Structure 1
Amino acid sequence: MDITRINSLSYEDFVHVLGNVVENCPVITAAVWSMRPFASLAALEAAVTDFIEALPEQGKEGILRCHPDLAGRDLRNGTLTRESLEEQAGAGLDALDAAELSHMARLNGEYKERFGFPFVICARMNDKEAILRQLSRRLAHGCAEERASAIEEVKKICRLRLRSLVLPDPPNRL
């Protein structure tokens, strides 16, 4: 679907089509709908990321809490969103052996206890080894630094999800 079509969507259709570009946060998409028309996919991406950036710290933490644990219960129970399932499977998190699964569960638990929200990383840009390395490394962050890192990952996920739904902007012609 191109940006012209996106701009013409009703509120309900806009939220239905783009409602999960930020995991389990259709309220963000709903708020961004009122900013139409978007001149381009880049403008839509900017609107979503600017909205996220403008949130108070508690709002940003709320976004982070909407994310599932990587390789967690939702993956095993089949209750992930379609997008998260594809992203986690693409990174190999659906094929962890018992030792990897145990290690991931332990690190996820430590992370959640330390920061109060699940570990968020753009799975589409990583594999299981990189995810485990980053999870271990980011456990050493301070709370503010980690919240900022996690929000940057949310924005990466959002951009990739938008790009999978909206056709790229046509090249500029001179």
Structure 2
Amino acid sequence: MTLSELNSVTPEQAYKVFESCCCAPNWVNKMVKKRPFTNTLVLQEQALRIWNNLDHVDYLAAFEGHPQIGDLSTLQKKYASTSDTAGHEQSGMSLAQQSTLEKMALLNQQYLERFGFIFIVCASGKSAEQMLELIQSRINNSPQQEIQIAAREQAKITKLRLEKLL
């Protein structure tokens, strides 16, 4: 898709496009309203500005659009609209040893119980072992610290998805 096409599609079509990058409804609606974008840099700046002005409820809504890291079967089932991008983003997990996947599954469950949302990390370019180290390093954070870290990771994911989109 080109920037010109994104600027000219209907609001409903634009909603679906932006939703594939980040499914927080408030972010998506504000991105649709910000059109037209003069260039991709402006689009990225607006995306980040809007994201940074949302609250934790919006962050949680965005996190809902992700499968758990390492839960590759979920990609095909629950997250059909983002499974292609999420699957590519998590490609490092597909090469993981069984013991790494098992540790990740256990830590994912502990993380979810502790924070009330799944572990969010910009997984692109990271190996399974690196992601395992990251969840281990973050699981003892305070809930406030962790939602801020996860929100920054979501912003990175959204940026990459917007870049791939155009």
Fold match by TM threshold 0.5: yes
Give a deviation string over 1:4-28, Cα, whole Å, max 9, x none.
2221121122123332101x44653
Give a deviation string over 1:40-92, Cα, whole Å, max 9, x none.
112112222222222222222232233221112xx225324221112112x2x
Equivalent residue of 2:34, what SS? coil
Misfit runs of 4+, over 4 Å: none
Partner of 2:127: 127
Q: Which amino acid aligns with 2:149?
A: S
Aligned pairs for 1:130-141 (under 5 A) are 130-141=130-141
Residues paired across the two proteins, number: 161
Identity among equivalent positions (%) equals 26
Higher relative contact order (CA 8 A, sep 6+): 1
Equivalent residue of 1:140, what SS? coil
Whether contact under 8 Å (1:19, 1:30) holds in the other structure is no
Q: Between Structure 1 and Structure 2, whose CA radius of gyration is higher?
A: 1
Q: Which amino acid aligns with 1:3?
A: L
**TM-score, with length taken from structure 1:** 0.83
RMSD (Å), alpha carbons: 1.8
Whether contact under 8 Å (1:29, 1:48) holds in the other structure is no
Whether contact under 8 Å (2:31, 2:46) holds in the other structure is yes
Distance (Å, rounded) in 1 between the aligned partners of 2:29 and 2:54? 15
| Unmatched 5+ stretches in structure 2 | none
Task: Report the alpha carbon displacement of residue 121 of structure 1 after superposing the two structures with TM.
Answer: 0.6
Partner of 2:84: 82
